Structure 1
Amino acid sequence: MKKIFFYSVVCVANIMFAQNTNTSAEKSFNSLWYVRAAKQFQAQVQRGDDSQEALQKVGDAYYFNTDMKNAVKWYGQLFGNYEQVLEPTYIFRYIHALKGVGNYGMAKLLTERYEKVLKEAEYDISTLASNKDELEKLLNMEPQFYVSNLSINTKLADFGTAYYKNQVIFASSRDTMNLHTRIYKWNEQPYLNLFSADTISSGLDLKNVTAFSKTINSKYHEAIVAFTPDGNTMYFTRNNYTDKELKRDNEGTNHLKLYKSKLVDSTWNTPIELPFNDENYSAGQPALSPDGKKLYFVSDMPGSIGATDIFVVDILDEDSYSNPKNLGPTINTNGREMFPYATEGKLYFSSDGHLGLGGLDVFESDQNETFSRPRNLGKPLNGKLDDFAYIVNEETQQGYFSSNREGGKGDDDIYSFQRIEVPCKQSVMGNIINQESKRPLANSIVTIEDSSGDLLAETMSDSFGEYHFNIELPCAQTFLIKASKEGFESSDRQFATTTESNYSNEVTLNLNKLNPLIVREGSVLKIKIGMIYFDFDKHNIRYDASIELNKIVFLMKEYPNMIIKIESHTDSRGNDAYNESLSDRRAKATRDYIILNGIVAHRIESAIGYGEKQLVNECDNNSECSNERHNVNRRSEFIILQLE
C-alpha cells in the first residue's frame, strides 16, 4: 500500500507506454488499477499475446502491487523472449523481484552479467549484488532486532507510524463507521486515512484505535505525518484535490502534496499547502529534525536522481521555507528513497537502490556535516519484501516500522522492535600493486598490526594480487597493514575502522621495485657491491675500493631516507685482537669515505669492525681451510636499517 500512496502517483508517468488505450487492460493499467490490470493482461497473454509490451505490463502490474512471486514469473518469461532488447529498468526490476522471493543467487548472477549495461544506465551495481560478496555479508549479519506484529493490524493496509504525545499516529485503509468507504482501484482497498492509537506502558503494543481528525481525513488518501516538538503543528501528505475532484497534470497523473495544519483550541485547523508543492510532481512523507528546524520529504521534483529522492528544506518562520535541497548521491540513488526519519545525528530511510535483501529495506546514515554511507539494518528488520517507515526512540532503542512480509495479518502491517547492541566488527582486504607497472603482485607477504604494534594476522596475496584477512576487527580503531616481497621495497599503510558494523575496508599498497644492489638476506636488507680490498696491514681506501663505495654513495642519494650501518670482518688467520682493531679501522675509513662524498653522518648509524668474531663458515683458529674458504670471511657488510 505504501507504493500506492507514493510510488504510483510519482512514477506512473515514467512507466506508461506511448500507445492507444482502447483495451480494458490498458485502461486499467493507465488508471493505476493494478489488481484488475494484472488479471486482464495475464488473460491476454494466455490467449496468445506474448508481445514484449504485454509481458512488461503484466510483470509491472504485479511488481507495483508487491506480488513478487508473480512478478518473477512474468519478468522471467519477458527475459526469455526479449532479453536482448530490454531496457535497464527491467533488468533492475527483475533483480529486485528475484530478491523479493529470496533468489539471491540468480539476482547476483544477473547483476554480474549486466554489470556494463547497468553502469551505463547509472545504476550502482554494488546496490544490487556486489562482486565482492557484500550481499553474502549482509545475509550473514548478526541480527540486532527483536520484532513483533502489533495487535491493532487488520487484513488491510496499516503503516507509517509517528510519535504524538502518548499516542502513535498511523495510516490505514481500514473502514470505520465514521468514514465513507470508497475503494481505491489500484489494490481494491479503501482509501487511506490517519488513525491514532494509545501506547501501552507495559510494552510496545498499541490499543484504542480511533480516527485521527475529521478536519484532516478526507475522501482520498492521507498518510505519513510529522509533528513539531511542541505537538502543535503537523505536516502530512494528501492527494492533490479540490472539493469536487482529484486534480491531474497534463498526462492525467494525480500527484501528492504536503500540507500543514495547526492545533487551535484542541482542534486541527484547515490544512494549507506548502509553497514548494507543484501540479506536475509529488511531494510527501514528511519528517522533522529533532529541533523542528528542518523538514525532510520525498519527491520526484526536478533535480531528482532516481524515481523518488529525499529532499530537505529549512523552516525559516511561520510559513516560509528555503528552497528544497536534494540530499545527494550518498543517500539518493537511481531507485526509490522513501520514508525519512531524523533523530539527533542519524537519518533513517527506506530504499530499493542501495544494497538490500529485496524490495524496500531500512537504512541508517550518520548525519554530521555530511551523511555517512548508508548501512542496511539487516535481518530480521529487513526481509525479502518491503520494510519501511522506521521510527525510533534513540534512548530506549525501541520503535516501530512497517512491512508487507509474509506472516503478517494483511497488506502492510505495523511491527514494533527492540534494537539490541551487537559488537561492531569489520573486515579488511585489498590489493598489492607493482608501483611501476601497475600490475598486481602475487605472493606478497601481508601483515596487520594493532596500534600497539602487535601482529594480528599474516597472509599472502593471491595470483591477482588480492589479499584478505580472516579476522574481525573492532570498529573505531587504528591498524597498520604491511606488505613485502622479494626484490621490492616494503610498504605500509595505516587505516582506521569506522563505526559501521560489517563494513569491509579496502587497503591497497603499492610496492616499488628495489635497486638491484639491494638484496634481502632473511629478514635483513643489505647493499651488495663488489669486494672492498685493502693493502696489507692498511686501512686507507684504494682506487678499486672507491669504485665500489661510490655505488653506496649513489644508492644513498637515490634513497634519501636510507640509514645504514657498516660492519667489517676478517678471517681467523692472525692475532684475534689485531684482526679486530684492523677491521674496525677499515670500517671507519669506509664510513669516512662515504661521508666525504656527500652523505650526512647521521645516515650511517655505526661503523664497527668485528675481526674474526662473526665467521660465516667453520674456518676458525682450529681449522685448516684453503685460501678461498678463508677469503669468504673477509668482507664488508652494508646493512640497511631504514629505507624510506
Structure 2
Amino acid sequence: MKKLYILFLILATSNVFAQNDKTKKADKLYNRLEFVKAAEEYQEIAIEEADAYVYEQLANCYYNLFKTKDAERWYSQTISEGNTKPDVYYKYAQMLKANGKYQQHNEFMAKFAKAKPRDKRAIAFNKNPNYIPQILAKVTKFEVKNSEINTKNSDFGAISAGNTVYFTSTRDGGRKYGWNDQPYLDIYMATYDGDGELSNAIALSKDINTKFHEGTVSFSPDGKTMYFTRENYYDGKFKKSEEGQGTLNLYTATMSGGEWTNVKSVPFNNDEYSVGHPAVSADGKTLYFASDMPGGLGQSDLYKVAINSDGSFGEPENLGGDINTEGREFFPYISSNNTLYFSSDGHLGIGGLDVFAARVKDASYGAVRNLGTPLNSNADDFSFTFNEESKKGFVASNREGGKGDDDIYEVNLVNPICDVDFVITVTDKETGVILSGAKVVLADDQGNSVGTKTTDAEGKVVFKVECDKSSQLEASIDGYVPEKLDVSSGDNPERSIGIPLAPIEEIIEEEVIVLNPIYFDFDKHNVRQDAAFELDKVVSVMTKYPNMVIKVETHTDFRGPASYNQRLSERRAKSTVQYIISKGIDASRLSSEGKGESTPLIDCKKCTDEEHQQNRRSDFIIVSKD
C-alpha cells in the first residue's frame, strides 16, 4: 500500500534489532522499510523455528502493507506464543476490526485498555465499548463513487483548485520503492471531460516531481502558492536522519507562466522527523500539517502554524488532546466554514484510518465525530477534502471493490453536517447567582462521557454537538446538589440551557440524606452508573460537613432464599461504602448494614419487576452531624 509511505515512513520502524544470525537479513530489510521482501524472509524463518519475535515482525510487515488477514493471522500467532505487548493487542484489534470481527476486536481492545488504562484510546473505548454499531447506524451523510481517474496502482490526495484537480499517484511506473514494491509517488493534475469525469492526468514538472516521493498538496486562497510534501530532497541533495531514515518535508512553490516553480523549504522542516500533509485555511492565515516531531501526543499529531502577511511562518503549535491521540492523526483539511477534517486510527472508528470532523471556533475544537459510512469503511479512509459551497469533495480508500491499491472516490454530500452549540449556564437555584468553577459533563444518550468543562466567570460553558442528537448534561460544584438533564439538540445553531443547582442542605433532613433511589440490578452488588450519580451527592454532603457520620443500609427484593438475600444486601452495603471512600471520604465516617428482605418498601406477594427494583434500595442515615 504505497500511501503508507506518505503516512510517515519512520513511524513504521520500531527500532528493531536482530536477535540472531537468521533474523539479521529480515530485520535489515524491515528497518529499510522493504516490507514485501522482509515478510518473505520472516516467512522462511517461521517455517523452521519461529518464536514470538518473528511472528510479531511478520505481523507488522502485513500491518504496514494493510494485508489485514495475514496480519491478523500472525498477530494471533505471536500472542499465542505469550506476546502480551499492549501495542500488539492494539494492532491485532485493528486488524480484527478491519476484517469485520467486531466481537473479537472488542475482546482485544479490552486487553489493550487493561494494559494501558491511561491511553486516550483505551479511555475512549472503555467509555463506549460497543461504539461500532452506533457508527454504522449513523444517518448517511455522503455518497461516494469510484473515480475514473484511478489506476491499478495507488491514487489518493485529490483536491480541487479551480477547474483543476491535483492528486498523488504511482501510475507512471519507474523505479520501485521497497515498502510494497510500487513506483515512487508523484503529483498529477487532471481536468473534467465533457461527461463530467476526471481525465487527462498530467504529471507536474520536474521542478516539483523528483526521483523521490511527492504528495499531497494544498493551495493559498489566491491559487498562486502551492504547499506540498516531498521526501527530504532539496537543492539537489537528499538527506537522512542520524538513524539513516528518510523523512518528509514541506515545500512551497509559486505559479509563474503556467508552471509551478521557485520551490522553497519551510523553516520548520527537520532532518530528524517528518513534516507533511499541508492544509491551508480559507483565509490563508494558517497552515495545518501532520508531524511526528518530539513533544507530540502520539505516533503522528496534527499541528498548525501562522502564515504571516509577508509569507513567513510563526511557530508550530500542537492541536492538543481534543484532536490528537496516542495513535496516528494524518491528512488535515480545513474547509471554508472552519471545519477541520482529518484521518485517524486513534479515535473510535470502524476500520484502519477513518475520516473525522471537528469544528474550529476561537482557537478551540468541538467534539470529534466519525463521519460514518460509506465515507468510512473497514479499510483505510484518508485524504478527505471537501468544498462547502458545492458540497462535493474527494476521499481516498483501499477498501474492497476498488480499481487499484488506493483509489480516489468522488464525494457528494446528501445530508447536512449539522452542529448545535449548547450554551450552558449554571446558577444557584435559590438566589440565581451564577456559579463559576462548576464542572459540567456532556454525555451521550447511553451515559458515556464525551467531554468535561468548567464554567467561566459568567457561569457558562459551551459544547458543540450534532443536530437532532440526544445527550445528557451533569453539573456539579462543592456545596450544591449535582443535577442531571436529558437534552435533545434539535437543529437550531444555538441552544441556551440553564442548570440551577440547589444548595446541598436541600437533601439533608434530620436523620437521613434524601436521594433518588439507589437501585441495584437483580442478583448484583456493583454500583451502577445511575447510582454513582446519586452517591456523589452523599460525597458532596460529607465534604461540606467533615464531621458527619453516615450509616448505609441496603435492602433486597423477595426473590431468592432469605439467607442469600441477607448476604447479598451486605455485599451491596459494602460496595456502596467503598464507592464513597474512593471519592476521598474517610472510612471511619461510614458504616454499613445489610437488611436483606426484612424491611421491604413494598410488601407484595406477586411483585412486578418495578416493585422488585424499588425494594432493592439503599438508605443513608445520619448518625451524627457535628
- Is the pair's TM-score, using the shorter chain for normalization, greater than 0.5? yes
1:262 equivalent to 2:259? Answer no
Amino acid at match of 2:186: N
Tell me how far apart the structure 1 counterparts of residues 98 and 294 of structure 2 sit (CA, whole Å): 30
- Post-superposition Cα deviations, 1:458-496, rounded to whole Å, max 9, x if no partner, equal x9xxxxxxxxxxxxx9937999999xxxxxx99664756
1:174 equivalent to 2:171? Answer yes
Tell me how far apart the structure 2 counterparts of residues 480 and 59 of structure 1 sit (CA, whole Å): 42
Tell me how far apart the structure 2 counterparts of residues 251 and 500 of structure 1 sit (CA, whole Å): 54
How far does residue 97 in structure 1 lie from its aligned partner after superposition? 1.1
Partner of 2:11: 11
Which of 209, 213, 232 is the matching residue for 1:240? 232
- Post-superposition Cα deviations, 1:570-620, rounded to whole Å, max 9, x if no partner, equal xxxxxxxxxxxxxxxxxxxxxxxxxxxxxxxxxxxxxxxxxxxxxxxxxxx
Amino acid at match of 2:410: S
Instruction: Please list, as runs of the form range in 1=range in 2, the aligned pairs for 1:92-491 lying within 5 A after superposition.
Output: 92-120=90-118, 122-128=119-125, 130-131=127-128, 133-175=130-172, 181-200=174-193, 203=196, 205-241=197-233, 246-343=238-335, 344-369=337-362, 370-421=364-415, 475=467
Among the aligned pairs, what percent are the same residue? 38
Amino acid at match of 2:350: L
Tell me how far apart the structure 2 counterparts of residues 478 and 106 of structure 1 sit (CA, whole Å): 29
How far does residue 38 in structure 1 lie from its aligned partner after superposition? 1.3
Which stretch of the first structure deviates more once superposed, 140-149 or 300-309? 140-149
How far does residue 321 in structure 1 lie from its aligned partner after superposition? 0.7
> Tell me, which stretches of 5 or more residues in structure 1 are unaligned?
427-456, 460-472, 483-488, 502-506, 521-644
Contact 2:8 2:274 in 1 (8 A): no
Q: Secondary structure at the match of 2:367?
A: coil
Amino acid at match of 1:376: N
How far does residue 233 in structure 1 lie from its aligned partner after superposition? 0.7
* Structure whose CA Rg is larger: 1
Contact 1:3 1:64 in 2 (8 A): no
Partner of 1:564: none
Which stretch of the first structure deviates more once superposed, 277-286 or 490-499? 490-499
How far does residue 123 in structure 1 lie from its aligned partner after superposition? 3.7
Tell me how far apart the structure 1 counterparts of residues 15 and 391 of structure 2 sit (CA, whole Å): 39
Instruction: Please list, as runs of the form range in 1=range in 2, the aligned pairs for 1:523-538 lying within 5 A after superposition.
Output: none
Partner of 1:81: 81
How far does residue 147 in structure 1 lie from its aligned partner after superposition? 0.9
- Post-superposition Cα deviations, 1:16-72, rounded to whole Å, max 9, x if no partner, equal 3475787321221111011111122122111222x2221111000000011111110
- Post-superposition Cα deviations, 1:267-312, rounded to whole Å, max 9, x if no partner, equal 2223111000011000001000001110011100122110101100
Partner of 2:72: 72
How far does residue 422 in structure 1 lie from its aligned partner after superposition? 6.1
Q: Secondary structure at the match of 1:216?
A: coil
Contact 2:353 2:381 in 1 (8 A): yes
Partner of 1:572: none
How far does residue 189 in structure 1 lie from its aligned partner after superposition? 0.7
Contact 2:18 2:24 in 1 (8 A): no
Residues 317 and 104 of structure 1, relative CA distance in 2, 3 Å threshold: same
Contact 1:358 1:384 in 2 (8 A): yes
1:40 equivalent to 2:41? Answer yes
Amino acid at match of 2:136: L
How far does residue 163 in structure 1 lie from its aligned partner after superposition? 1.5
Contact 1:183 1:191 in 2 (8 A): yes
How far does residue 519 in structure 1 lie from its aligned partner after superposition? 13
TM-score (norm 1): 0.65
Contact 2:343 2:353 in 1 (8 A): yes
Tell me how far apart the structure 1 counterparts of residues 382 and 298 of structure 2 sit (CA, whole Å): 18
Partner of 1:56: 56
Tell me how far apart the structure 2 counterparts of residues 128 and 366 of structure 1 sit (CA, whole Å): 23
How far does residue 152 in structure 1 lie from its aligned partner after superposition? 1.4
- Post-superposition Cα deviations, 1:135-160, rounded to whole Å, max 9, x if no partner, equal 22112222222111011111100000
Q: Secondary structure at the match of 1:99?
A: helix
Q: Secondary structure at the match of 2:33?
A: coil
> Tell me, which stretches of 5 or more residues in structure 2 are unaligned?
421-444, 447-464, 475-480, 494-498, 515-626
Tell me how far apart the structure 2 counterparts of residues 373 and 474 of structure 1 sit (CA, whole Å): 9
Tell me how far apart the structure 2 counterparts of residues 182 and 492 of structure 1 sit (CA, whole Å): 62
Q: Secondary structure at the match of 1:238?
A: strand
Residues 325 and 491 of structure 1, relative CA distance in 2, 3 Å threshold: closer
- Post-superposition Cα deviations, 1:294-339, rounded to whole Å, max 9, x if no partner, equal 0011100122110101100001133421110000010000000000
Contact 2:341 2:355 in 1 (8 A): yes
Residues 363 and 491 of structure 1, relative CA distance in 2, 3 Å threshold: closer
Tell me how far apart the structure 2 counterparts of residues 35 and 490 of structure 1 sit (CA, whole Å): 58
How far does residue 2 in structure 1 lie from its aligned partner after superposition? 5.6
Contact 1:128 1:354 in 2 (8 A): no
Tell me how far apart the structure 2 counterparts of residues 481 and 308 of structure 1 sit (CA, whole Å): 33
Contact 1:299 1:308 in 2 (8 A): yes
How far does residue 202 in structure 1 lie from its aligned partner after superposition? 5.5
How far does residue 357 in structure 1 lie from its aligned partner after superposition? 0.5
1:91 equivalent to 2:83? Answer no
Aligned-pair RMSD on alpha carbons?
3.5
Amino acid at match of 1:96: Q
Tell me how far apart the structure 2 counterparts of residues 481 and 318 of structure 1 sit (CA, whole Å): 46
Contact 2:140 2:415 in 1 (8 A): no
Partner of 2:600: none
Contact 1:142 1:422 in 2 (8 A): no
Amino acid at match of 2:45: Q
Partner of 2:559: none
TM-score (norm 2): 0.67
How far does residue 95 in structure 1 lie from its aligned partner after superposition? 1.1
